[in-house]
Structure 1
Amino acid sequence: MTQNPTATRILLASRPVGWPTAEDFRIEHTALADLAPGEVRVRNEFVSVDPYMRGRMSDARSYVAPYAIGAQITGGAIGRVVATTLDSVPIGTLVLHQQGWSDHAQGDAAQFRILPDIPGLPLSVRLHVLGMTGMTAYVGLVRIASLREGETVFISGAAGAVGTAAGQIARHLGAGRVIGSAGSPEKVALLTEKYGYDVAFDYHDGPVREQLASAAPEGIDVFFDNVGGDHLEAALDAFRDGGRAALCGAISGYNSTEVQAGPDNMANLITRGLTLRGFTLGHHLDLSTEFQERMTTWFENGGIVYDETIVEGIEHTVDAFLAMMRGGNIGKMLVRI
């Protein structure tokens, strides 16, 4: 009789206060149970590491329940079925799921989304530009900010996974000018040389308000925000009348132990007729088919490029997460099993 494999899982050991540390997590080795009828077992090939996970490590009210102490960190992962009780989901089937930080996943087959196995398409892109990351950028620009042809777009945190996707999607949607902020000279160069940004700046080089005013002297129409804080203040100053912001993230305050001050120029919302709208992807999944069709076409035509920062080994998942939180990634941060 074949022995069930042992899963290596990453658990939340304690709620981080301020910046997370390795001590806030725990690695556990768990023998997997026998499959029940209707279940499958998956060997993961990549797991995702994302900024939003930091918010779920807090017990503050949010759009999704916080991670429980002692529970596995859940999130996106992709792998192949290695054991099954269903003829409809045979061994070798490629699947996407949300069980997260482990080298194995198993459960009811309904928890796993079967993906077409396309030769030559890297599996990892299903976790970013052709997955939820890309769709987040698409939803923010199309539905939340209602980007129109010819408009000027500013994207904060532009060298991250969502930001690099958003800049390219804005181009495909007809933006007249695309501006981005990033956290190093290398990332700034990448934005203009690879990702098609018209101009980019390093937010460490001076006040964001001043740098954005210089980059967009005639103002901006759309702001896709991954950062919050001083970037949001800068955008409120730079908006033309009728400007719209899609608020996707606020990473500048994720690790703060003090209450963050609000923008000091909120009156611009009134005088310029601005719209600020926050969003999470789960409320806009009706755009999935539209996104997949358009993004796949752009991708196949060579109109989408990407970067990945890949850390090897499930036991280094926490290292990957901590590095990402301090800007140690270009593009999507992933762990390869």
Structure 2
Amino acid sequence: MEAIQIRMREYPGAGPARAVWALTHDPLRPIADGEILVAIDTISIDPGMSGWITNKRSYMPPVKPAGVMRAFGVGEVIESKSGGFAAGDWVSGFTGVQTHGVFREERLRKIDTSIAPPVKFLSGLGMTGFTGYFGMSDIGEPQEGETVVVSAASGAVGSIAAQVAKHSGARVIGIAGGPDKCAYLLDELGLDGAIDYKQGDVAEALARACPDEIDLYFDNVGGETLEAVLSLMRYQGRIVVCGAISQYGDFAGAQGPANFMSVVTHSLTIRGFTMRDYMHRVPEALGWLIPAWKEGRLKMREHLVEGIEKFPDAYEMIFRGENHGKLLLKIS
């Protein structure tokens, strides 16, 4: 049996972006004791991938040249020499962008497909859901009556964070790109306001939407949006930094906001995080996310691209904001 993979030829540089990727075919080795062979069904396309292919210090080591591209995925066990897994089990974890893989048993966790379809464990019941849940509930701690702003609010993480804040009793304003995404925030997620960053001045729109200033900002974007929010933060407000997709194209040259002294003058608290800080608490997140989804209190949607060969297209889509919901790549 062979596997098909997407490999990173070399770190991105001055050459064509597509030249980074290579589609390869390699035979699968026999599995050893404590290993499982997995047929990978679907993988997650995430903004953080751009950091994984940058040879800079980050929360995870970079993918090495010629290595299989890192990705979080779900798949079915087709052969096992592990006491914890049997053929037919579904698993999730860092599978990489490939059709099949041999993994140590401790690298993957079993998922219960009787609860939800496998793709949901890459969406609101997976890493993006956990990120939005912990970032908002544990770090942001929204309170009833507060004004909360979430950027990239129609995205996989932002939509969960916004709904968590809404369920806390906060007044929630989402920022998204385009009328369809803004309509989704209002009509489907039930937010109190939506700002289209593609239409007009974001700072002016925020000032209109937040006349009493902003208590809590959940940042997925950075850049000019963060700068606009800083000018409207309430005294002793909180900022949760989950990502900065506007800066991902140039990690080395990323710039901070010009009005950063607002952090001092308004005694603001800024805290960043990654899911590495919370992996030991995943059952806690599922304890909230699963009932909320089953009862209809939590909405999630997926945008599916099909075919492993479409990985470069899907990767570029997410940075152009073309996905509507959690962007996934169907492998098989």
Q: What range describes the TM-score normalised by the shorter chain of this pair?
A: over 0.9
Equivalent residue, structure 1, for 2:134: 139
Equivalent residue, structure 2, for 1:51: 47
The answer to whether the 8 A contact 2:137-2:164 is kept is no
Gap runs ≥5 in structure 1? none
The answer to whether the 8 A contact 2:147-2:214 is kept is yes
Quote the Cα distance in structure 1 between the aligned partners of 2:151 and 2:113: 34
Residues 1:333 and 2:327 aligned together: yes
Quote the Cα distance in structure 2 between the aligned partners of 1:105 and 1:42: 5
Equivalent residue, structure 2, for 1:308: 302
**Structure 1 counterpart of 2:72, from 38, 61, 76:** 76
**Structure 1 counterpart of 2:169, from 167, 174, 182:** 174
**Structure 2 counterpart of 1:92, from 58, 76, 88:** 88
Quote the Cα distance in structure 2 between the aligned partners of 1:257 and 1:134: 25
Equivalent residue, structure 2, for 1:149: 144
Aligned residue identity for 1:230: E
Cα offset, 1:190, TM superposition: 1.2
Cα offset, 1:143, TM superposition: 2.0
Quote the Cα distance in structure 1 between the aligned partners of 2:15 and 2:270: 28
CA-to-aligned-CA distance 1:265-301 (integer Å, 9 cap, x gap): 2222122211111111101223322211011111111
Residues 1:228 and 2:222 aligned together: yes
- Aligned ranges 1:250-329 → 2 under 5 Å: 250-256=244-250, 259-329=253-323
CA-to-aligned-CA distance 1:97-127 (integer Å, 9 cap, x gap): 20221111212212121122316x2211101
Equivalent residue, structure 1, for 2:60: 64
Cα offset, 1:206, TM superposition: 2.3
The answer to whether the 8 A contact 2:242-2:274 is kept is yes
Aligned residue identity for 1:311: V
Equivalent residue, structure 1, for 2:231: 237
Quote the Cα distance in structure 2 between the aligned partners of 1:211 and 1:115: 42
CA-atom RMSD, angstroms? Answer: 1.7
Quote the Cα distance in structure 2 between the aligned partners of 1:301 and 1:86: 35
Aligned residue identity for 1:55: G
Equivalent residue, structure 1, for 2:159: 164
Residues 1:21 and 2:13 aligned together: no
| Stretch moving more, 266-275 or 48-57 | 266-275
Q: Which secondary structure state, in structure 1, belongs to the residue aligned with residue 98 of structure 2?
A: coil
Percent identical residues: 37
In structure 2, the CA distance between the partners of 1:87 and 1:291, relative to structure 1 (3 Å rule), is closer
Equivalent residue, structure 1, for 2:196: 202
The answer to whether the 8 A contact 1:9-1:72 is kept is yes
TM-score norm. by structure 2 comes to: 0.95
CA-to-aligned-CA distance 1:4-63 (integer Å, 9 cap, x gap): x21111111122248972221111111100111221101111111100001111111111
Quote the Cα distance in structure 2 between the aligned partners of 1:39 and 1:178: 46
Quote the Cα distance in structure 2 between the aligned partners of 1:20 and 1:173: 46
The answer to whether the 8 A contact 2:34-2:83 is kept is no
The answer to whether the 8 A contact 2:84-2:105 is kept is no
Aligned residue identity for 2:152: G
Q: Aligned pairs, how many?
A: 331
Quote the Cα distance in structure 2 between the aligned partners of 1:58 and 1:86: 34
The answer to whether the 8 A contact 1:16-1:58 is kept is yes
The answer to whether the 8 A contact 2:5-2:68 is kept is yes
Cα offset, 1:258, TM superposition: 7.3
The answer to whether the 8 A contact 2:74-2:95 is kept is no
Aligned residue identity for 2:119: S
Quote the Cα distance in structure 2 between the aligned partners of 1:204 and 1:110: 44
Equivalent residue, structure 2, for 1:130: 125
Q: Which secondary structure state, in structure 1, belongs to the residue aligned with residue 66 of structure 2?
A: coil
Equivalent residue, structure 2, for 1:113: 109
Q: Which secondary structure state, in structure 2, belongs to the residue aligned with residue 137 of structure 1?
A: helix
